[in-house]
Amino acid sequence: MNETAAFNILPSDLSLRWQLVASCLGIFLSVWIAQVFLSPDILADFPKVGNGGVSARRKQFASGAAWSLYLEGYQLVSFFAISATQILTGNQIKKGNDYFRIATTAPAETIVISSKYLGELKKLPDDILSSTEAIAEASSAKPLYQSQTRNSGTTTHSESVADSCIKLNPVISIEVHESMELELPQTGEWSSVNIYEKLLRIVAMVSGRVFVGPELCRNEQYIDAAINYTNDLMTASHVVAMIPQWMRPVVAPFIPFVKRVHQRVREASYFLGPVVAARLESAKTINAEKPDDMLQWLIDNQEKGDGIKDAEELAKMQLGVSFAAIHTTTLVTTNAFYSLAAMPELIPMLREDVRQALAASDGEFTNLSMQNMKKLDSFLKECLRFHPLSAASFQRKIIKPFTLSNGHYMPSGVFLEVPAAGIAFDHEIFEDPHTFDALRFYKLRQSKDKESSGAKVAEVVASSQFVGVGATSLTFGYGRHACPGRFFAVNEIKMIMAVALLEYEVKNPDGITGRYENKWHGALSVPDASKTIMFRKIAS
């Protein structure tokens, strides 16, 4: 081909290509417009909360209205079960009174459903209703972090921690005492303490005693990782959420916040590596006594060939457990301290409860003595009810469509939640729900059943312990994926509060009346981390 011919062919070839690209784009655009604007609204028969279309409602949710939207929606939802005949005839079911839809920051809309359906929902397998997908997608970080936050390993090892709670109580109680001594003022003078900051460290050390063992639980590198991995991961998730979904796999790895998360994993593997090596070395000694903690269980599994393969995987596993454990436990305990400081009149009664329980076990934190702290248990349970960490619980994604027992079709691709905060303040469920009654659950436990307790719902009596989960008690979730670490968390929180009651005085700073208000971030309600309360050591 000569030069002139080439010159003539090129433009027409290009214009052909451009025509092709333009028609492809046109088709793509029309399909997209048809999908977005013309496809039927699959949630049309679910009443919505908020005003306008999905993005307008999402904006309202993200700009501080989330809790009021959930509570507004709860007005539409009835908690009480309808009889089988009513379900069959369908006459009594007004459309919408069992669910509402809300646009959260998750990529698809969420159906908030009455907790009366929890019984049937919990039976659905994960490939229909998925908890992992809901968390990964709602946090916008699916492609990057799924393996680092929630995986079967994290759950299995959290369950092992829970199973080992009883035998580990003595070591946990030593770590509680010592870490509180390290972090809280040791003088008889009143001192101002940012208890949230202190609890992050105390909880990291106490949990670390069980997760990574005595060599590392007070190591500053470990404490920093245990506390800040969660912050880094959440920040990275928020940043990734701003990138269009299809660009995330390509762009996200180059974002500094995302790189920081991967750096955290590497750092954790650096400080875990030598400890693992030392333990393997000392295991060669005949009759060597092995430490009893999660790190050792992981090493033992690795040796059997069915466990974690390398230091990086081990680090991810440890950070995953810290992610699930440290901030949640700290937030619940901070809520309890803020309530205690605002209601110092409760202190003598709770202190006596702890004293009596410990007296029966020679001052040891045994499983029995922990169970016998029934008034403390009730106070903590009331803190959970009065300050739910989230307006919603039982976050799931519908992977495959299904039909509820009332005949309602639940489409795939959307999220599902239960209105935890609405339930916590429903006067049909809890008597005088807007009053903080420290002994509410103690009184329920003292009575044997619904009739003698005067409770309005039998289920409230059944789940009246701090650790209990149920349709009226949703802070630890519900069903197959309910928090496996709650037995450990509850023991840890009880021990921290018991030691605080026995060894310290706590009050609000002068001039502060009432309890510090919580802060709302989307569906979450968290104690204000900037506040301080007063502590002084009781002379022993």
Query: How far apart are alpha carbons 212 and 315 in whole angstroms?
Result: 10
Residue 148 contacts ligand HEM per CB under 6 A = no
Separation in Å, CA 34 to CA 28, 103, 238: 10, 21, 30
Query: Dihedral, CA atoms, 432, 435, 440, 441, nearest 10 degrees?
Result: 100
Q: How far is the CB of 421 from ligand HEM (least distance, A)?
A: 13
418 binds ligand HEM (CB under 6 A): no
Q: What residue type is assigned to position 156 of the chain?
A: T
Residues from 471 through 490 that contact ligand HEM (CB under 6 A): 475-479, 481-486, 488-489
Q: Distance (Å, rounded) from C-alpha 474 to C-alpha 27?
A: 47
The rounded distance, in Å, linking the Cα atoms of 338 and 195 is: 9
> 140 vs 393, which CB is nearer to ligand HEM?
393
Cα distance between residue 49 and residue 72, in whole Å: 7
Cα gap 508→190, rounded to integer Å: 11
Choices 49-57, 191-199, 328-336, 521-529; region in contact with ligand HEM by CB under 6 A: 328-336
> What is the C-alpha to C-alpha distance for residues 254 and 189, in angstroms, rounded to an integer?
51
Nearest to 267 by CA among 223, 231, 207, 235: 223
Q: Would you say 108 or 321 has its CB closer to ligand HEM?
A: 321
* DSSP helix/strand/coil, 19: helix
Q: Which is nearer to ligand HEM, 130 or 508 (CB)?
A: 130
Q: Which stretch binds ligand HEM (CB under 6 A): 13-21, 267-275, 320-328, 399-407?
A: 320-328
- Pairing label, strands 415-418, 110-113: parallel
Cβ at position 489, least distance to ligand HEM in Å: 4
- Distant-in-sequence, close-in-space partners of 271: CB < 8 Å, separation ≥ 6: 216, 219, 221, 222, 225
Q: Does 394 participate in binding ligand HEM (rule CB under 6 A)?
A: yes
DSSP string, 436-487: --TTHHHHHHHSSSHHHHT-S-HHHHHT-STT--BTTB-TT--GGGS-TTHH
Give min distance, CB of 33 to ligand HEM, in A: 37
Q: Under rule CB under 6 A, how many of the chain's residues touch ligand HEM? A: 29
Stretch of residues binding ligand HEM (CB under 6 A), selected from 17-25, 168-176, 318-326, 530-538: 318-326
Nearer to ligand HEM by Cβ, of 50 and 388: the residue is: 388
Task: Using the minimum distance from each CB to ligand HEM, give the nearer residue, 294 or 346.
Answer: 294
To ligand HEM, the closest distance from the beta carbon of 179 in angstroms equals 16
Q: Does 321 bind ligand HEM (CB under 6 A)?
A: yes
Q: How far is the CB of 383 from ligand HEM (least distance, A)?
A: 11
C-alpha span between 74 and 418 (Å, rounded): 10
Q: Which of 43, 199, 223, 324 binds ligand HEM (CB under 6 A)?
A: 324
Q: How far is the CB of 490 from ligand HEM (least distance, A)?
A: 7
DSSP class of residue 20 equals H
Q: For ligand HEM, give the closer residue by CB, 48 or 196.
A: 196
What are the two backbone dihedrals, phi and then psi, of residue 70, each rounded to the nearest 5 degrees?
-60, -40
CA dist 335 and 333 (Å) reads: 5
Q: Which helix (H) or strand (E) holds 411?
A: none
* Residues 114-143: x where in contact with ligand HEM by CB under 6 A, - otherwise, as a string: -----------------x------------
- CB of 441 closer than 8 Å to CB of 464: yes
What is the C-alpha separation between 275 and 494, in angstroms, rounded? 30
Binding mask 150-189 for ligand HEM (x = CB under 6 A): x---xx--x--x----------------------------
Q: For residue 97, give the DSSP letter.
A: T
Shortest Cβ distance from residue 324 to ligand HEM (Å)? 3
Contact flag: residue 76 with ligand HEM (CB under 6 A): no
Q: Does the annotation list 483 as a binding residue?
A: yes
Q: In this chain, which stretch among 30-38, 149-157, 186-194, 352-360 interacts with ligand HEM, using CB under 6 A? A: 149-157
Minimum gap (Å) between residue 99 Cβ and ligand HEM: 18
Q: Looking at beta carbons only, is 466 or 536 nearer to ligand HEM?
A: 466
The count of other CB atoms within 10 Å of the CB of residue 59 is 14
Query: H helices then E strands: how many in the chain?
Result: 23, 12
Residue 476 CB, nearest approach to ligand HEM (Å)? 5
Give binding residues as ranges.
Answer: 483
* Interacting residues with ligand HEM (CB under 6 A): 131, 150, 154-155, 158, 161, 321, 324-325, 328-329, 332, 389, 393-395, 475-479, 481-486, 488-489
Give binding residues for heme as ranges.
Answer: 483
